[in-house]
């Protein structure tokens, strides 16, 4: 398959099929409805199952079931729908079940709006569910990166036996872009799913898929085991891109659609002789703390840019560890800034630092 023009939601759906997804359970919500619509039309041609559940909650529990049976499984939704799925997600993290979950973010809180947003950052990276758990979360910035990551995400989920979330804003879901679905992505070495409940055939003892541990010592042991896994993920899976860092005076931290606007702003700033770099998290959990160690000595401050009133900024402050002043620029509610607004925020911050 050569390069094609696809809408974000369609491309994500096709990427899931290419990534070996064999079951999809979901429920429509703007701005991600084309994703289940595409899979409804195409999943069966690839030997997979598409099922529209009666609600988001039903869908995530179907994901739990299919994953427990060892299938490569996915669901998708948008912000308020992802909020509904949180119970199922923490159950899956507790039961160590892999799945890919796509969140095409829209404005909140509550029903919010239907225009693009990054205001789910904390919901995604901290989890809306209970207990000591995380989901691995990718936040790509264009369609090519998104489809590559989705194809890889099924391996990542299987490797760590943990839900993986792809968090994109509504603009990435809705926009058209040329994309090649057949670019090779790294393959992980995966163990056989001996934990899957697919029948013992009289050859092994039954296995349990479960997140209930009534013995406190048992639950503590389980939680520390999970913590150990999360530490491995923090060590191995941080992903980020550093742009324009040489001699930079200021570093902008931005992801997703916001990082694309920032790239345009950087070009303009560069023409004016103002050197600004971009630290772009590709994983938002684990947050790319390692990238902050690569920030050059020339940098005098960090500007966090988000499509929210300021959520990732807390992770930026933790990673920065008090070293540099941290500023913020954000638009929210579905408002998307033009590069000029970023340029002004950069100049304001640099002015204050001098």
What residues make contact with other proteins under the rule CB under 8 A?
A: 1, 3-7, 10, 14, 30-31, 34, 113-115, 170-171, 174-178, 260-261, 263-264, 334, 336, 338-339
Nearer to other proteins, 99 or 105 (CB): 105
Nearer to other proteins, 338 or 348 (CB): 338
Q: Is 33 helix (H, G, I), strand (E, B) or coil?
A: coil
Contact in structure between 183 and 2 (CB atoms under 8 Å): no
Distance in Å, CB of 115 to other proteins, minimum: 5
Q: Tokens standing for 93?
A: 């993290």
Nearer to other proteins, 6 or 157 (CB): 6
Q: Given strand 250-253, what is the order of strands in its sheet?
A: 240-243, 276-281, 250-253, 301-306, 326-330
Distance in Å, CB of 285 to other proteins, minimum: 26
Q: How many residues does the chain have?
A: 354
Distance in Å, CB of 252 to other proteins, minimum: 14
Distance in Å, CB of 142 to other proteins, minimum: 9
- Residues 220-229 as b/e (b if ≥16 CB within 10 A, e otherwise) read eebeeebeeb
Taking the CB of residue 262, how many other CB atoms lie within 10 A of it? 28
For residues 129 and 120, give the distance between their C-alpha atoms in angstroms, rounded to a whole number.
13
Distance in Å, CB of 119 to other proteins, minimum: 15
Please count the CA atoms within 13 angstroms of the CA of 198 that sit on its side-chain side. Answer: 10
Phi–psi pair at 155, nearest 5 degrees: -65, -45
Taking the CB of residue 281, how many other CB atoms lie within 10 A of it? 27
Distance in Å, CB of 141 to other proteins, minimum: 11
Nearer to other proteins, 161 or 280 (CB): 280
Nearer to other proteins, 10 or 315 (CB): 10
Nearer to other proteins, 34 or 306 (CB): 34
């Amino acid at each position: 398959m050569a390069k094609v023009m696809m809408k974000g939601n369609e491309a994500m759906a096709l990427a899931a099929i290419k990534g070996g997804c064999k079951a999809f359970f979901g429920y429509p919500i703007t701005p991600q409805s084309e994703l289940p619509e595409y899979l409804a039309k195409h999943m069966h041609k690839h030997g997979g199952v598409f099922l529209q559940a009666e609600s988001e909650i039903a869908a995530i529990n179907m994901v739990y079931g299919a994953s427990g049976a060892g299938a490569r499984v996915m669901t998708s939704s948008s912000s308020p729908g992802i909020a509904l799925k949180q119970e199922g997600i923490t159950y899956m993290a507790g039961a160590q079940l892999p799945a890919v979950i796509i969140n095409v973010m829209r404005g909140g809180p509550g029903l919010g709006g239907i225009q693009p947003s990054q205001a789910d950052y904390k919901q995604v990276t901290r989890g809306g569910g209970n207990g000591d758990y995380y989901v691995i979360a990718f936040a790509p910035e264009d369609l090519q990166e998104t489809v590559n990551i989705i194809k890889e995400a099924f391996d990542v989920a299987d490797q760590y036996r943990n839900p993986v979330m792809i968090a994109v804003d509504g603009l990435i879901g809705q926009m058209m872009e040329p994309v090649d679905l057949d670019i090779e992505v790294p393959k992980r070495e995966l163990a056989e799913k001996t934990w899957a409940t697919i029948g013992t055939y009289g050859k092994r003892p039954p296995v349990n898929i479960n997140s209930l541990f009534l013995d406190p010592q048992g639950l503590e042991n389980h939680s520390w085991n999970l913590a150990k896994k999360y530490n491995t993920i923090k060590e191995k899976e941080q992903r980020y891109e550093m742009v324009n860092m040489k001699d930079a005076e200021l570093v902008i931290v931005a992801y997703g659609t916001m990082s694309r606007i920032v790239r345009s702003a950087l070009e303009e700033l560069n023409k004016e002789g103002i050197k600004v770099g971009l630290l772009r998290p590709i994983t938002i959990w684990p947050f790319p703390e390692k990238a902050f160690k690569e920030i050059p000595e020339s940098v005098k401050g960090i500007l966090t840019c988000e499509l929210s009133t300021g959520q990732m900024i807390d992770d930026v402050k933790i990673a920065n560890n008090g070293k540099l002043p941290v500023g913020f620029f954000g638009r929210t509610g579905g408002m998307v800034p033009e590069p000029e607004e970023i340029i002004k925020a950069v100049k304001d911050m640099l002015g204050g630092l001098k």
